[in-house]
Amino acid sequence: MEPLTSAQSPPVNPAQASSKLPLYRELWVQVLVAIFLAIVLGYVNPARAIAMKPLGDAFIRLITMIITLIIFCTVVTGIAGMENLRKVGRVGGVALLYFEVVSTIALLIGLLVGNVVRPGSGFNVNVATLDAKAVADYAGQAKAQSVTEFLMHIIPTTVFDAFAKGDILEVVFVSMLFGFALSAAGARARPLLELVDSLTSVVFGVTKILMQFAPIGAFGAMAYTVGKFGLASLGPLARLIGTFWLTSVLFVIIVLGAIAWAASFNIFRFLAYIKEEILLVLAVSSSEIAIPNLMAKLERLGCSRSLVGLVVPTGFTFNTDGTSLYMTMAALFVAQATNTHLTLTQQLTILSVAVLTSKGASGIQGASFIALVATLSVIPSIPVAGMALILGIDRFLSMFRASVNMIGNGVATIVLARWEGELEAETLRQQLARPS
């Protein structure tokens, strides 16, 4: 199976590649400038900044409209082109184990930091004074799923329903079935496989076109965030925001950095390689927006299409490192701010429930907040109305939450590709040294 056309690139000298485009034409520079201008506009003219929201929403919709197609094409062609289908099961099993271990580590770190730093201490909030109605809509959507319900949710009502709803996990399930069926059909299915392969190249070509509008989307999303919530709103809750941001950065550098080191690549080189995606996710507060470009860049590094197609989409459901950090830390913040004492047993209960509720809360804005409400509902002593304290700043928390989710999935894909012997350490280092 040929690699993605969009990911093909002949060997070039890094120095020559870096001078290929003027700095102002680099996508990451354009996005960075757009974010800066958006912050200025949001501070100077909040009303006009809020009116920029449709620009961010439109860009998010442009990308999300093709995500399901990208996943379907990548997974189908990847699985159908594999000579050994047992590899699919092996990769899937190892991936799920990796996801669970790393996201549980993130939950534990959030719990540890929340107990040590105690970002909610000193607030002494009277629950009766909180606006419970502000959280009511989220509480209505929050429902802790059982394992059976979660597994049943993977199966769509119809094949087309999975694509219509845009549910990533359902699309992966349908795509895997089609991939296995095409592989079993052998030569008879070759024309259909070539058609899907050609469609893959076209869809990634569409993605390349749409990414030209990334600076506009980033500007609209960030302008709305600053204009709507205001930089002044960060003041009263600066301790929580600062603690979470710093914890997120240290998690990437130390935990993911150690995992990257064990897989023989440098985490800082990888962060530089996906800097456009990081900036974009920070601006729009949604990790899902980075899926198309992240998949293409991982293939360009040398990860196989089948592995990328399996690990990245499922990772955005199961490998929610940023969400895991947020959920345990935010839960402790609410308890501390409302002077609710939590026993060790209650904290471990929150941890165990969050293991399940954190799944599926990475891509959509507000999903992590809903998942947190569902988690807190299992500890009656914690007033769910206390979530109103962080509702206004959740957008600022989600910026780093989504970014850590996205970075974690990129690292996971490379680690699994190294585990499967698809990537040589020296080749990976050379590829990461190239301009992205």
Task: State mean pLDDT over 251-270.
Answer: 94
CB atoms within 10 A of CB 131: 11
Lowest mean pLDDT among 177-191, 258-272, 363-377: 363-377
CATH number at residue 84: 1.10.3860.10
* CA distance readout (Å), 253 to 260, 268, 269, 301, 412: 10, 8, 11, 21, 14
Query: Considering only CA atoms, which of 37, 32, 33 is closest in space to residue 52?
Result: 37
How would you classify residue 102: left for phi > 0, otherwise alpha for psi between -120 and 50, otherwise beta? Answer: alpha
- Give the pLDDT band of residue 4 (cuts 50, 70, 90): very low
Look at residue 53 and tell me whether its pLDDT is greater than 80.
Answer: yes
* CA distance readout (Å), 41 to 54, 60, 100, 195, 304: 15, 21, 41, 47, 43
Cβ distance 173 to 154 under 8 Å? Answer: yes
Q: Is the dihedral of CA 301, 302, 307, 310 positive or negative?
A: positive
Query: Considering only CA atoms, which of 248, 278, 306 is closest in space to residue 113?
Result: 248
Query: Considering only CA atoms, which of 318, 77, 92, 364 is closest in space to residue 204?
Result: 77
Distance, CA of 292 to CA of 312 (rounded, Å): 10
Look at residue 106 and tell me whether its pLDDT is greater than 90.
Answer: yes
Burial (CB count within 10 angstroms: exposed 0-12, middle 13-18, buried 19+), residue 4: buried
- Give the pLDDT band of residue 208 (cuts 50, 70, 90): confident
Distance, CA of 309 to CA of 329 (rounded, Å): 32
Query: Considering only CA atoms, which of 151, 172, 102, 67 is closest in space to residue 405?
Result: 102
List pLDDT tens digits, range 54-68: 998 888 888 888 888
User: What per-residue confidence (pLDDT) applies to 12?
Assistant: 43
The DSSP-derived string for 263-280 is TT--HHHHHHHTHHHHHH
- The Cβ-side half-sphere exposure at 75, using a 13 Å CA radius, reads 28
Residues in the chain, total: 436
User: What per-residue confidence (pLDDT) applies to 1?
Assistant: 39
Residue that wins the pLDDT comparison between 366 and 397: 397
Rg, C-alpha atoms of the chain: 22
Most trustworthy range by pLDDT among 274-278, 370-374, 388-392: 274-278
Domain count, the chain: 1
Query: Considering only CA atoms, which of 409, 407, 402, 404 is closest in space to residue 287?
Result: 402
Residue that wins the pLDDT comparison between 320 and 131: 320
User: What per-residue confidence (pLDDT) applies to 388?
Assistant: 75
Lowest mean pLDDT among 1-10, 184-193, 413-422: 1-10
Look at residue 18 and tell me whether its pLDDT is greater than 80.
Answer: no
Tokens describing residue 320: 């929610």
Tokens describing residue 9: 């690139």
User: What per-residue confidence (pLDDT) applies to 432?
Assistant: 84
Distance, CA of 374 to CA of 357 (rounded, Å): 7
Cβ distance 427 to 302 under 8 Å? Answer: yes
Which residue in the block uniquely carries the two structure tokens 């606006």? 131
Query: What single DSSP character describes residue 145?
Result: P
Domain span including residue 304: 5-433
Look at residue 397 and tell me whether its pLDDT is greater than 90.
Answer: no
Which residue in the block uniquely carries the two structure tokens 């701010």? 337
- Give the pLDDT band of residue 8 (cuts 50, 70, 90): very low
CB atoms within 10 A of CB 151: 10
Entry pTM: 0.79
Task: State mean pLDDT over 288-302.
Answer: 87
Lowest mean pLDDT among 306-315, 342-351, 357-366: 357-366
Task: State mean pLDDT over 407-413.
Answer: 94
* CA distance readout (Å), 98 to 168, 187, 206, 225, 360: 19, 35, 32, 34, 16
Residue that wins the pLDDT comparison between 114 and 80: 114
How would you classify residue 409: left for phi > 0, otherwise alpha for psi between -120 and 50, otherwise beta? Answer: alpha
- Give the pLDDT band of residue 81 (cuts 50, 70, 90): low
Look at residue 210 and tell me whether its pLDDT is greater than 50.
Answer: yes
Cβ distance 342 to 428 under 8 Å? Answer: no
Query: Considering only CA atoms, which of 21, 433, 26 is closest in space to residue 268?
Result: 433
Task: State mean pLDDT over 153-169.
Answer: 80
Task: State mean pLDDT over 316-341.
Answer: 87
Which residue in the block uniquely carries the two structure tokens 């990796």? 98
Distance, CA of 108 to CA of 97 (rounded, Å): 17
The C-alpha angle with vertex 90 and arms to 255 and 256, in degrees rounded to 5, equals 10
